[in-house]
Amino acid sequence: MNVNNCPTCGGKVEFSPSDNALKCIKCQKIFPISKDNSVEKKPVNEAINDEGYKEWEGTIRSYQCTNCGAKIVLNRYEMSTKCQYCNTSSLVPADELPGLKPDGLIPFKISKEGAKMQFSSRVNHKLFIPRKFVKNLPKLELGATYISSFDYAYHSFSYYSGILEITRHRTNSNGERVEYVESVPISGTKAFDFSDVIVESSDMISQTEINLILPFNYKEVCKFNPDYLKGYSVGYYNQTVDDGLKKAKKISDSQLYNMIRNEYSGADKHVTSLDVDTEYSNEKFSYLLVPIYFIKYKYKDKEYLNVMNGQNGNVGGKFPTSKLKVALFSILIGLIVVGVPIAVILAIALGG
């Protein structure tokens, strides 16, 4: 529905994650959003005009505000910005995008207030977080943004070979139990279907950062609808579908390597010299917008920036650390390595 201002009170209308609908921020009136989950991936070779994003490189563009009609300016790879006159979040119409149009999106499920609560809860369980930081969280600045990404699916077929090292025991001629390693050649094939391999396609976040906050629940993907974007920032994509596919395959190569190794590994087994050669086929993709919170704060005169999954609350990035906790942990590991019994270590730690 094309609603920017509440017809009842004139207040701004934004997407409300807790209501999964548009909501007036003034009178709290709810406006339902039509939901369509029929988002299908298309063949990679059907990515038409995916280099269109280059038209936005290093350029400043102007569009009309969808609410008041004023001229608004967007910077590099921005799909939306707030109008300086009416404070409405305006989105570039999909038919005016120079390249690919988003196929779907994953709506925010956590509100901004909910994100602050989630952050507090998550950092409380971090091992090396300073106690003072947890007890008195600094002021958090939240940026709610839909990040462009490519979601890939394909079939893989792998040929592999390696060495399986098995730790065994035997009794020698002196009656002593000794340990030895038996090396056994392994080889085989593995077929696997990847359904949702997310590759970030925005200059606002790195692949490392997005990997830290996965997974997303892809069952909640909706067909692209600008109503979900009202009140939020949106970043455009910045690479071709083929470029993203190469990154996706590297991610899958690593996952396949670990899958095969784990199939043979055990308490007394370890795979070495593993070589995996994989062929990919039936490659498909969709252009998705995924919900991310950027959380900025300052602690002891140092600025930090964390990222949060706006659907499930997973948090990633660099956090403040307690030097004392790190030092105590290192001492603990050292004591374990030299063979000090756990009971003795606990007694020392508890002051006993």
SS (H, E, C) 140-173: CEEEEEEEEEEEEEEEEEEEEEEEEEEEEEEECC
Pairing label, strands 21-24, 13-16 = antiparallel
Distance CA 72, CA 211 (A): 34
Report the run of H or E that residue 283 belongs to, with start and end. strand 269-299
Tell me, what's the pLDDT at 352?
41
Whole-number percent of the chain with pLDDT over 70: 80
Predicted structure pTM score: 0.85
- Cα–Cα distances in Å, from 56 out to 82, 97, 128, 224, 313? 19, 10, 42, 21, 31
Average pLDDT over residues 274-297: 97
Q: Do 235 and 204 meet the contact criterion of CB atoms below 8 Å apart?
A: yes
Distance CA 188, CA 259 (A): 13
**Cis link prior to 93 (omega < 30° from 0)?**
no
Distance CA 260, CA 191 (A): 11
Cα 304–325–210 angle (5° rounding)? 35
Domain segments of the chain as ranges: 40-51+99-320, 322-352
Tell me, what's the pLDDT at 166?
92
Q: Please report how many Cα atoms fall inside a 13 Å half-sphere around the Cα of residue 214, on the Cβ side.
A: 15
Query: Of 27-41, 110-124, 273-287, which has the strongest mean pLDDT?
Result: 273-287
Dihedral pair phi/psi, residue 44, rounded to 5°:
-60, -35
Instruction: Tell me the per-residue pLDDT of 113-137, one tens digit each, with 9 for 90 and over.
Output: 999 999 999 988 888 888 888 888 9
Q: Which residue has the higher pLDDT, 198 or 83?
A: 198
Maximum distance among all Cα pairs of the chain, rounded to whole angstroms? 93
Distance CA 330, CA 1 (A): 58
The residue count for the chain: 352
